[in-house]
Structure 1
Amino acid sequence: MNREKLMKMAGAVRTGGKGSVRRKKKAVHKTTTTDDKRLQSTLKRIGVNAIPAIEEVNIFKDDIVIQFLNPKVQASIAANTWVVSGSPQTKKLQDLLPGIINQLGSDNLENLRRLAEQFQKREQGSAPADDDDDVPELVSGETFEAAANEGATS
């Protein structure tokens, strides 16, 4: 190294003027701990409680599954708030489907079957069938009041 470059590097680490002690390493301050403390204090204010012995959490979003293995789960039922913290892994639904089916109960299995049918229809390009959420057409000559009165008498 040349002398000029060495003097320039030595001057960069000097904390005071000429003759003062040089630092060996520049201190780097981290602010992530303050964010974590602020989050924990907010969660404490809401009143979340830790839920122990949860081995796995799966979050389903379209055909993607966000999977947490051995997460820290906290919940506040009153505030309708769930906190899942840990290291997430993003996977496709088809890859995890065999392992997830074993964990589901019989009631959730029916919901999964319905979702799979909707997914297949969407991939085939067909429009969804008539939904029950649609407002039915009125029969000509009838009103809602007449139908309500007829239902009350029978």
Structure 2
Amino acid sequence: MNPEKLAKLQAQGRTGSKGTPRRVIKKVHRAVAQDDRKLQGALEKLALTNMPYVEEVNMFKEEGTILHFRAPKVHSSVTSNTYAVYGRGEEKEMTELVPGILNQLGPDSLASLRRLAQSYQESAAAQAGASPEDDDDEVPALVESFEEATIEETA
């Protein structure tokens, strides 16, 4: 094929032959609504009802992290003790949510909170004990006049 002719065709910006549109328009299909309908159908089969006015859901993990849902959609069946929580969940550390979740903590979570507080106190004590000694060695002695010190260095 002729390179000049090929360069001319590329400069036109067409993807096909003469008469085709210059640009291909990509349509974005939103499958979220369809997935939501499927989820609603599955929840209806389980006889779960919507629980409105749920502001947040926190799920405590064994390693001390928390799965936090802000403004989730919650469906429940109280008779069969079944709950479905869906929405955008974030995995957070316990220290990020401590003031707001104290009333939600159970005995297992309180134990992990105690361990967390103990490790925090130990790290704070280690930093407080190590910093004055280390800082004294690194800071040079102060001189009364900076001009005299520079004169002494040059001499």
- Tell me the TM-score normalised to structure 1 length: 0.54
Q: Give the structure 2 partner of residue 19 of structure 1.
A: 19
Cα distance in 2 for residues equivalent to 1:115 and 1:21: 63
Corresponding letter in the other structure for 1:47: A
Alpha-carbon offset, residue 116 of structure 1? 4.6
Does residue 110 of structure 2 align to residue 113 of structure 1? yes
Q: Give the structure 2 partner of residue 10 of structure 1.
A: 14
Cα distance in 1 for residues equivalent to 2:85 and 2:42: 15
- Tell me the TM-score normalised to structure 2 length: 0.54
Does residue 63 of structure 2 align to residue 35 of structure 1? no
Q: Give the structure 2 partner of residue 60 of structure 1.
A: 60
Corresponding letter in the other structure for 2:98: L
Q: Which has the higher helix share?
A: 2
Cα distance in 2 for residues equivalent to 1:110 and 1:11: 65
Cα distance in 2 for residues equivalent to 1:76 and 1:112: 26
Q: Secondary structure at the match of 1:11?
A: coil
Cα distance in 2 for residues equivalent to 1:19 and 1:4: 14
Q: Give the structure 1 partner of residue 130 of structure 2.
A: none
Does residue 70 of structure 2 align to residue 69 of structure 1? yes
Higher Cα Rg: structure 1 or 2?
2
Cα distance in 2 for residues equivalent to 1:85 and 1:53: 14
Contact 1:46 1:79 in 2 (8 A): no
Q: 1:79 to 1:3 in 2, by over 3 A?
A: farther
Q: Give the structure 2 partner of residue 146 of structure 1.
A: none
Q: How many residues align?
A: 110
List gaps (5 residues or longer) in structure 2: 1-6, 120-155
Q: What is the alpha-carbon root mean square deviation over aligned residues?
A: 3.1
